[in-house]
């Protein structure tokens, strides 16, 4: 015998044979709503909360779409530099001065790790292009990413190369040099 859904939410009281299933499935209250601290929550408060809690998607919503779309030029450059540092020089090998980043760690995963880090590096090049870097700068940046990606595929030796070559830091340096030569507007 299965139990009706109404009985799961508010079990029937024994001895009250007068209640019908239709009356129990109506909109009448089944008892107070209690929060996690044991305080009663008024139904009006719940309805107000549900009206305020909503998501809006579309062109008119300033929070819709790309959360990074409204960054200033300086913020975008700072983001590129931060990601490059995280990828290439975020950590120091204990007892040495050798710096490495997530690129070297993720690159330890055969093939997939190198594909992931190369994709992130390509995104940094795309961001540089969006900042207005000319074709010759982006071509050099793509060359650095290609060398890092191809040599990084070689087991063990490629991972050591990833740690020493630091393609993303090289690319940020290229971008920074080009940006420093540009007139401020």
- Confidence (pLDDT) at 160: 87
Distance CA 20, CA 141 (A): 75
Pairing of the two strands 99-100 and 91-92: antiparallel
Q: What pLDDT is attached to residue 159? A: 85
Q: List the structure tokens of 18.
A: 């007068």
Confidence at residue 80, expressed as pLDDT on a 0 to 100 scale? 93
pLDDT digits (tens, 9 = 90+) for 17-35: 454 444 445 556 577 777 7
State mean pLDDT over 68-81. Answer: 82
Tens digit of pLDDT for each residue in 83-136?
999 999 999 989 999 899 998 888 888 889 989 999 999 999 999 999 999 999
155-177 CB burial, b ≥16 within 10 A, e <16: eeebbebbbebbbbbbbbebbee
Helices (H) and strands (E) in the chain, counts: 9, 4
Across 26-54, average pLDDT? 68
Query: DSSP labels for 136-175?
Result: HHHHHHHHHHHHHHHHHTSTTHHHHHHHHH-HHHHHHHHH
pLDDT in tens, 124-182: 999 999 999 999 999 999 999 999 999 988 888 888 898 899 999 999 999 999 999 98
Q: How many CA atoms lie within 13 A of 169 on its CB side?
A: 16
The alpha-carbon radius of gyration of the chain (Å, integer) is 29
CA distance 114 to 68: 26
Higher pLDDT, 71 or 120: 120
What pLDDT, on the 0 to 100 scale, is given for residue 162?
A: 86
| Residue 98: how many other CB atoms lie within 10 Å | 13
Q: What is the pLDDT of residues 143-158, one digit of tens each?
A: 999 999 999 888 888 8
19 or 47: whose pLDDT is higher?
A: 47
3-state percent breakdown (helix, strand, coil) of the chain, nearest 5: 55, 5, 40
């Amino acid at each position: 015998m299965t139990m009706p859904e109404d009985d799961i939410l508010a079990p029937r009281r024994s001895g009250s044979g007068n209640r019908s299933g239709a009356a129990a499935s109506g909109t009448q209250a089944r008892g107070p709503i209690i929060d996690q601290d044991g305080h009663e929550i008024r139904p009006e408060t719940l309805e107000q909360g549900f009206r305020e809690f909503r998501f809006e998607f579309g062109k008119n919503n300033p929070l819709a779409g790309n959360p990074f779309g409204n960054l200033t030029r300086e913020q975008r450059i700072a983001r590129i530099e931060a990601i490059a540092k995280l990828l290439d020089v975020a950590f120091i090998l204990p007892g040495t001065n050798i710096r490495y980043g997530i690129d070297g760690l993720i690159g330890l995963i055969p093939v997939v790790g190198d594909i992931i880090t190369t994709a992130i590096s390509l995104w940094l090049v795309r961001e540089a292009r969006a900042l207005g870097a000319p074709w010759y700068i982006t071509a050099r940046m793509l060359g650095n990413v290609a060398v890092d990606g191809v040599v990084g595929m070689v087991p063990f030796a490629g991972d050591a190369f990833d740690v020493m070559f630091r393609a993303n830091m090289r690319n940020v340096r290229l971008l920074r040099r080009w940006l420093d030569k540009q007139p401020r507007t």
